Homo-oligomer: A and B are copies of this chain.
Amino acid sequence: MTAAAGRRAVRGATEADAEDAASLLRRFNAEYGDPAPSLLELTGRVAELLAEGATTVLLAGDGPDGLALLRFRTALWSPGLECYLAELYVVPERRGQGLGRALLDAAIDDARARGADTMDLGTSEADTLARGLYERSGFVNREHPPDGPLMYVYERNL
């Protein structure tokens, strides 16, 4: 897919797309063996985030076949917003066709348009496909690149 065709394949979701988005998010978690809320509950959650206004959901392909979910907030260290790329997913049968790159390009366009200065995300050491995509797009996982220490995500339940 050319970059132009990729961008045409991506559209911004509205609350009417919340069920499609939730369905993709559930496929994402099922593929990686992670639990997920019911389709009904997750659809409501996506619709609520879209209604709040600090979230963008992008959909790719006719299925839709892929999704990006971006969260925005006032930044601490810069005058604009911080953008967190919370989710990026393409269904297995559509991988290798440029949809992930198209979603990431569209996510960066959207974040810039909303006034974000930075974008960050967390991903697994093992997800080499995603890491390659992020690294080709200018993301780094080291402090003081290119040779500084790695940056880890830590998390816990409360």
Query: Residues of A with Cβ closer than 8 Å to B?
Result: 25, 33, 36-37, 45-46, 48-49, 52, 54, 69, 71, 73-78, 83, 86-87, 108, 111-112, 116-127, 131, 134-135, 137-141, 143-144, 148-158
Q: Do residues B158 and A117 form an inter-chain contact, with CB atoms below 8 A?
A: yes
Return 15 A-B CB contacts under 8 Å, by A number: A36-B77, A48-B74, A49-B76, A69-B76, A71-B73, A76-B86, A118-B155, A119-B156, A121-B153, A125-B150, A126-B148, A134-B154, A135-B154, A139-B155, A151-B152
Using A86-B76, A141-B154 as known contacts, say yes or no to A149 and B120 having CB atoms under 8 A apart. Answer: no
Summarize A's interface: helix, strand, loop or mixed. mixed
